[in-house]
Amino acid sequence: MSWYPIVWEELIYLRNKFWLHLVMYTLSPLIFLFAFGFGVGQRLQLMMPGGISYLDFLAPGMVALALFNNGVNSVIIRMFYTRLFYNSFEAYQLAPMNSFFLWLGYTLSGTLRSLLAAAVVLGVMFLAVPGLVLTRAFGLAVVMAAFCFGSLGVCVGLWLRSFDDHALANEFILVPMTFLSGTLIPVERLPGFLQQCVWLFPLTPVTELLRSTMTERGWDVTLAALTAGWFVLFFFIGWLTIKRLGN
């Protein structure tokens, strides 16, 4: 339980600004719903693979986006400021705990934010797309994704050294993944060369896994393995980076 104080601190922040977070988590899916779902979505209907409605396509994409943006960003921001500006990250480094638990604590903080945001988005999506069916497989996929993105947040958060790095992470990692990972537009409808490239993004298998678990396709082992693979990679990078801090 050495990781618990890090999550406890995150819970205090969430409690202190509960309503702000709730509005924040609700606003983003609403904007996407109005802009894409009810806006250009009607015209995108023709592009949908398998002839499903755009809203049905969008729902898992929105959940994936919520998991990704909140999981990764919350950890990046917390690590960025506590490491480089407030130095409070040192208080954790000075605690008598193994570096693995330090990694785990931050990853779980991101996971927590990720899951909360996903829950809010699902609530909104249920109102907009009443026919949505949730399965256990979907729940498992959500948890896997949240953990994966929490650990990605730790990797990026440890890598940042300046505001420029933060901007670079946004421009080169977060924004391309947001729009190109099959969340808003089907991967099959991207330009040819991009269709292969986007599989290098961890968000792509997550989005597709969520989508498959929301339909009769169910649990896709390959997509789940890809998601787990990304998580293992992020774990090793994050953990080794924490271990090497101070060199």
Dmax (CA) of the chain: 58
Binding mask 56-85 for another protein (x = CB under 8 A): --------------------------x---
CA–CA separation, 50 vs 111, rounded Å? Answer: 32
**One-character DSSP codes across 212-228:** HHHSTT---HHHHHHHH
Q: Which stretch binds another protein (CB under 8 A): 5-13, 38-46, 130-138, 181-189?
A: 5-13
Among 11, 18, 50, 90, binds another protein (CB under 8 A): 90
Please, what is the minimum distance in Å from the beta carbon of residue 90 to another protein?
Answer: 5
Which residue, 113 or 211, is less far from another protein as judged by CB?
A: 113
CA–CA separation, 121 vs 59, rounded Å? Answer: 9
Please, what is the minimum distance in Å from the beta carbon of residue 98 to another protein?
Answer: 7
Binding mask 152-191 for another protein (x = CB under 8 A): ----------------------------------------
User: Residue 74 in 3-state DSSP?
Assistant: helix
Q: What is the gyration radius of the CA atoms in the chain, in angstroms?
A: 18
Among 25, 80, 92, 231, binds another protein (CB under 8 A): 92
Among 51, 191, 192, 246, binds another protein (CB under 8 A): 246
Please name the helix (run of DSSP H) or strand (run of DSSP E) that holds residue 91, with its range, or none. helix 89-93
* Cβ–Cβ < 8 Å for 67, 118: yes
Please, what is the minimum distance in Å from the beta carbon of residue 116 to another protein?
Answer: 18
List alpha helices for 183-220, DSSP H.
192-197, 203-214
- Closest by CA position to 182, among listed 72, 21, 64: 64
Please, what is the minimum distance in Å from the beta carbon of residue 108 to another protein?
Answer: 14
> What is the distance of C-alpha 137 from the center of its chain?
18
- Applying the rule CB under 8 A, the residues between 16 and 55 that interact with another protein are 16
* Cβ–Cβ < 8 Å for 92, 157: no
Please, what is the minimum distance in Å from the beta carbon of residue 97 to another protein?
Answer: 7
Q: Which two tokens stand for residue 225?
A: 């393995």
Residue 46 contacts by C-beta under 8 Å, 6 or more apart in sequence? none
| 5 contacts another protein (rule: CB under 8 A) | yes
Which residue, 168 or 245, is less far from another protein as judged by CB?
A: 245
- Applying the rule CB under 8 A, the residues between 94 and 113 that interact with another protein are 94-98
Q: Which stretch binds another protein (CB under 8 A): 9-17, 25-33, 108-116, 185-193?
A: 9-17
* Contact residues: another protein, CB under 8 A: 2, 4-5, 8-9, 12-13, 16, 82, 86-88, 90-98, 245-247
